[in-house]
Every structure is written in structure tokens, then in C-alpha cells.
Amino acid sequence: MKIQKVAVIGSGTMGNGIAHVFAQYGYDVHLIDINEQALQKALQTISKNMDRQIAKNILTEQDKQQALNRIKTFTNIDNAVTDRDLIVEAATENPTIKLDIFKKIDALAPEHCILASNTSSISITKIAAVTKRPDKVIGMHFMNPVPMMKLVEIINGFKTSSTTNQVITETAKALQKVPVTVNDFPGFVSNKVLMPLINEAIYTLYEGIAGVEEIDTIMKLGMAHPMGPLQLADFIGLDVCLYIMRVLYEGYGNPKYAPCPLLVKMVDSGNLGVKSGMGFYDYSNKDSKELIVAPQFRKHNPVVV
Ligand SMILES: NC(=O)c1ccc[n+]([C@@H]2O[C@H](COP(=O)([O-])OP(=O)(O)OC[C@H]3O[C@@H](n4cnc5c(N)ncnc54)[C@H](O)[C@@H]3O)[C@@H](O)[C@H]2O)c1
């Protein structure tokens, strides 16, 4: 089966990027969100990001107009998925919301349609189980920012068929991405490896072994990471990091995944990273190009007596 008509559910950070790449590579896209403002913002973001691609000679102005013309927006799922070949769900990371969406799209979408989720942490097997087509449910985990990042982590649920996997692998390649298939276990591969690294960096700070800048500098310059783990945690959102650590802790029942008490305390305080203006770094001055350590972490004594 060749995918031609796609629906993307959720037009936030990930949904707009997913709609962007599908439209860029010639797919007909229905972009759906319950929030009209989120849809308008998504179209603006896509347009702005395509301008960046024009500046880099990746797209022409004509390519951009054609791509934008391929995207139609909807605030209601009912009329938006009945003729689709593939639906990629990228709504808020909340199991109740996602299970409701999958029940609904399973009832509305044509029989051949593949239902994919961009979830970072919810079991694909569990999502598939609320549908009557678990063989056609799969994880299609794009990375942020979608137009730039090459990886698509493809997650096979317990009942995902090899045909579904093949179609999604080919589709990811058609978007000029590199698909990598993994099995459905908590955190998949990406977050099972990344989140404990971030949690360990937070433990290292909590234990007073080093300060924020020292930890991030060691990982950047010593391990060639493009960004330190504490800055990355601020970008992802500390609430998201905590949520995923809890999924790993509960899913594997192993104390090595226990979230660091400092991470829990920061989330309790409302310091969630970039989105709240404060995390391990201080983002309150939007004009500042410099990274400023948050007030709570400015006094680090490197010599522990
Ligand atoms: N942000 C990331 O870096 C990232 C990376 C990989 C995967 N993900 C995953 O992608 C998904 C989306 O994350 P995001 O960061 O784009 O979230 P977001 O909060 O930016 O956007 C979510 C959007 O979903 C919409 N929505 C909520 N309920 C809906 C419904 N019933 N129908 C239609 N739309 C609905 C919201 O209005 C919102 O616009 C999540 O599953 C998340 O785990 C996020």
C-alpha cells in the first residue's frame, strides 16, 4: 500500500513539524486540533520554518506555496479522517486523551488506514488494544524539531504486523528520514537511554559533586554532546522528564529508574525549564544570548570537605 492521504492529530510542537514534512514531500495533509488558535499558530510556524528552508536553498518559494496548499485544518476529527491512508496522532501526552482519540479514529477511518502514535512514553500495545485493528497500530516517534531531525523511531506493538511496519518504514524513508524499528517496552530505546542519563546528571548536581555549568560542560566538551544534559532537560520540560522517569520506574520495577528528589522538587515548585522561564538555567530574560544558571544553583562549592 502506498500512503498518499495523511491526517495529523494535534498541531502543537510535534504536530506542526509532522504536518510540515508530510506536506513538503507531497502528501495531502489534514491537520486536526481541538484548539483553533493552535491550528493558526501551527500554520504560521510551518510557514516560518519553510522560509528558513528557502534561505538554505532546500525549498523554493513555489515549493513552499505548494506544500502549504496541501495542508487543510480541522477542529473536529469526524470529517477529517474518513478518507485517510495514515493517521499520525501527536496530541497531548495523556493516556486518557490518546485512548479516546484511538477509539474514535478506529471507528471513523477506512479499514486499510494505519493508525500511528508519536507518543514518547505510552505503550503502543495498550493503545492498539482499544482498536479493532491492533495489527495496523504502530509507533512513529519523530524527534524535535521534526523538519531537522533525521531519526524516526518506529515502535512495533505486540500485534503490529510486518506489513504495517514495512509501509511505515517506507513512508519514513520517503520523508528523507532514517527509520529504526524497536520493540514496545517502556521508554522504547530513545527515552530508556536518554532519561536515565538526564536523571543521573540531576543526581550529580543534587549530591554536590559538581555545579550546573560543570556538569553540562563536561558532557559537551568531553563527550561531544551538542548540549549538556541539564540544558536538554530544560528544553524537554522537567515535568516531561519526571513523567517519563516514572513510566520507566513503574514499567521495569527497577530502583535504578527512581526519579531524583531534586527533579521532583523542581517540578513541584513550578520550575519546569524553558517553558516556565526557569529550570537549571534562568530564561527570564528573553533577549539574553548567554546561558545563565538559575539562582538556586549559582553557589557551587567544588571542594566538599
Ligand atoms: N515535544 C517533544 O520534544 C516531543 C518529542 C517526541 C515526541 N513527543 C510526543 O508528541 C506528542 C505531542 O507533544 P507536543 O510536545 O507536540 O505537545 P503540545 O502540547 O505542544 O501539543 C499538543 C496538541 O494536542 C492538542 N490536543 C489535545 N487533545 C486533543 C484532541 N483530543 N484532539 C486533537 N488535538 C488535541 C492540543 O490542543 C495541542 O495543540 C506527545 O505524545 C509527546 O509525548 C514530543
Report the predicted TM-score, pTM, of the whole model to 2 decimal places.
Answer: 0.94
Nearest CA owner, ligand 1 atom 38: 12
**From residue 159, how far is each of 11, 12, 100, 292 by CA, in Å?**
28, 29, 20, 48
Report pLDDT for 289: 85
Q: What does the mean pLDDT of the chain come to?
A: 96
99 lines ligand 1 (CB under 6 A): no
Atom of ligand 1 nearest to the CA of 92: 22
Neighbouring C-beta atoms of residue 139, cutoff 10 Å: 27
Report pLDDT for 57: 97
151 lines ligand 1 (CB under 6 A): no
Report pLDDT for 280: 98
Tens of pLDDT, residues 25-70: 999 999 999 999 999 999 999 999 999 999 999 999 999 999 999 9
127 lines ligand 1 (CB under 6 A): no
User: Which residue in the block uniquely carries the three cell numbers 553540562?
Assistant: 216
Tens of pLDDT, residues 221-235: 999 999 999 999 999
The CATH fold of domain 190-297: N-(1-d-carboxylethyl)-l-norvaline Dehydrogenase; domain 2 (1.10.1040)
Atom of ligand 1 nearest to the CA of 100: 31
Rounded distance, CA 247 to CA 244, Å? 5
Rounded distance, CA 202 to CA 196, Å? 10
Tens of pLDDT, residues 164-207: 999 999 999 999 999 999 999 999 999 999 999 999 999 999 99
184 lines ligand 1 (CB under 6 A): no
Rounded distance, CA 191 to CA 56, Å? 31
93 lines ligand 1 (CB under 6 A): yes
**CATH tag for 5-183 (out of 3.40.50.300, 3.40.50.620, 3.10.20.30, 3.40.50.720):** 3.40.50.720
Rounded distance, CA 158 to CA 156, Å? 7
Per-residue confidence band for 303, with pLDDT thresholds at 50, 70 and 90: low
194 lines ligand 1 (CB under 6 A): no
CA of 275 from ligand 1 middle (Å) equals 14
Would you please indicate which residues are annotated as catalytic (active-site) residues? 120, 141, 153, 191
- Listed in order, the ranges of the chain carrying CATH 3.40.50.720 are 5-183
Q: Which of 9, 14, 41, 100 to mutate to test the pocket of ligand 1 (most atoms within 8 A of CB)?
A: 14
Report pLDDT for 301: 64
- Give the amino acid at 9: I
282 lines ligand 1 (CB under 6 A): no
Nearest CA owner, ligand 1 atom 18: 12
CA of 215 from ligand 1 middle (Å) equals 30
Q: What is the arithmetic mean of pLDDT over 131-144?
A: 97
Rounded distance, CA 294 to CA 212, Å? 9
